[in-house]
Every structure is written in structure tokens, then in C-alpha cells.
Structure 1
Amino acid sequence: MVNAIAFIAIGFILMELAGWFIHKYLMHGPLWMIHQTHHRPSKSFFELNDLFSVLFGSIAVILIFKGLDALDYRFWMGVGISIYGVLYFILHDVWVHRRLKWFGKPRNPILRGIFKAHQAHHKTNKKEEAVSFGLFLVPRKYFKEDEE
């Protein structure tokens, strides 16, 4: 059980670290043509950028299936990536971008910091000028109350 929890945490943490790196150096680099759909107004519920979620979700599913028989590290890391994906969907797509209008503005200071960091990220629609590339790895300045 301890191993399962450890590998879930490893999968979750690796997803945030990989997501930060991929977002900063690939999505805001050579894959900008796909990611820019996320930085521009859209009339559609879906955007080309959603392909990244399909990719990351596919990795989680593959890991889960590969580790299913033995319930080994691959299974639990896939679960960790899946938990990250669910939280990403809720925090990023539903709450910050309001693709589904389930929540109002955040009152919790941690959620407010995440919200402010993502708003700062979207102040520009240019690939070179963006800041704050993680979902949970957020610079401290966004957690200060005077950063309204």
C-alpha cells in the first residue's frame, strides 16, 4: 500500500514537472501552432490544444493497462497521472477557463494563487511573452493578497 501511494505521488509530481517543461518549451515553442488555439478566443467548446490532454490521458491509460496484471508501479503511476488529469480538468478547464460554469471565483488562497497565475499566463496571446507555465508550480508572487 505504501508503494502504491508513493508511485501515485511520483506519477502526479512527474506529470506536473513534465507538463511545466512541455508547456514552456514545446507548446510555447515548436508546437505553438496547436497551443495557440488555447490563447485565442474561441466559439467552440473544443480547441486544437485539447489534443495535448488526449496525449497525456493516453499515456496514463497505457501505463494502467501495462501494470494492471501485477498492479505494479506502472499501474499506480498511471493512476497518479489520471488524478493529475482530473484535477487539471477541474481547475484549468472548468474553473479557470469556465468551459463548464460550475464554480464562482476562488476564495481559498491557494486556489486564488493558481487562478491569478493562469490569468497572468493568458495576458498575452504571443508565445514568447507568457509567464507561469505550471498548474501547481506557481510563483509565490501570485499568492500575495496585494496581487489583485
Structure 2
Amino acid sequence: MWLYILVFILTFFIMEFMAWFTHKYIMHGFLWSLHKDHHRKDHDSWFERNDTFFIFYALVSIGFFLLWQNGILDIGLAIGLGIFAYGLTYFLVHDIFIHQRFKIFRNANNRYAKALRRAHKMHHKHLGKSHGECFGMLIVPWKYYRDAK
């Protein structure tokens, strides 16, 4: 049981690195065509081409569930749930809290919340795929905590 809990937690934290890596080198790299509408609102739809990345990770999570269900990978459930939990956290923090795709969590004003919003705002000040900063989601550079006093 402890192994599954450890794998779940480890998977969740590895996903923060995966989000950073994917965001910096794939979204701002060769798949910029899917991500650029997140930086420049060149559409009228609530959905963005950028949401494709959310679907990709959901499919990866489902793949691990299927590996577990078919007896191929015993820890597949823990990995799938870790990816799912990170995806849910990403949706709540990035899409709802930061970008207000739904108008809730507007009054969170602690130091972490302020630092998180500021770091993301600094990321979005760059409208092109180059010269970006702050590619992660949950781990915020210390300088934004200092600014959030």
C-alpha cells in the first residue's frame, strides 16, 4: 500500500517537471501553433487549441489505468491517478484561479497566490514563442514571493 501512495505522490511531483519541460520545449517549440492562442486571443471560442495538451495528458493517464486494469503494470493505477490529480490541480490553478475561465477562487490573496499570479503574468507578457520565463505551474521562483509581500 505504501508503495502505491509513494508512486502516486512521486508521479504528481514529476508532472510539475513534465509540465515545465513540455511548456518550455514543446509548447514554446515545435507545437507553438497549438499554444499560441493561449498567449494571443485570436479566437472567439471558450476553447483554445492549447487545450489539446490537456487531452494528451488525459490519454496518458487513461493508458496507465488500462495497463493496471489488464494486469500489465501493477502500479499503473497509482501513476494514472497521480497524472489525473496533477491535471485536476492544473485545471483548478491555471484555468480557473489564474485565467478565470470560471469566475471562482477570485479572492485568494495569500503570498503564494500573489506570487503564482505574478509569475504567470510575467510568462504571458511575452506574446511570441521566444524569450519566455516561468514555464512551470506550481513551483514559483523565489523572486515572486519577495514581490508578493
TM-score w.r.t. structure 2 length?
0.91
Question: Which contiguous aligned blocks of 4+ residues in structure 1 show a shift greater than 2 angstroms?
Answer: 68-72
Uncovered stretches (5+) of structure 1, i.e. residues with no partner: none
Q: Is 1:40 matched up with 2:40?
A: yes
The question of 1:128 aligning with 2:130 is answered: yes
Mapped partners of 1:131, 1:106: distance in 2: 23
Matched residue type, 1:32: W
Amino acid at match of 2:24: K
Matches for 1:52-131 after TM superposition, within 5 Å = 52-68=53-69, 72-131=74-133
Counterpart CA distance in 2 for 1:30 and 1:5 is 35
Report the secondary structure of 1:43's partner residue.
Answer: coil
Q: Counterpart of 1:29 in 2: which secondary structure?
A: helix
Deviation at 1:100, TM superposition (A): 0.7
Is residue 31 of structure 1 aligned with residue 46 of structure 2? no
Secondary structure at 2:57's aligned position in 1? helix
Q: Distance in 2 between matches of 1:142 and 1:43?
A: 32
What letter matches 2:9 in structure 1?
A
Residue 143 of structure 1 aligns to a residue whose secondary structure is: helix
Cα deviation code 1:59-102 (max 9, x no counterpart): 01110121135582111011011000001000000110111111
Aligned letter for 2:136? Answer: G
Does residue 2 of the first structure (1) align with residue 31 of the second (2)? no
* Equivalent position SS for 2:30: coil
Q: Which runs of 5+ in 2 are unaligned?
A: none
- Which deviates the most, 129-138 or 82-91? 129-138
CA RMSD of aligned residues (A): 1.6
Residue identity in the other structure for 1:115: R
Distance in 2 between residues matched to 1:27 and 1:18, nearest whole Å: 12
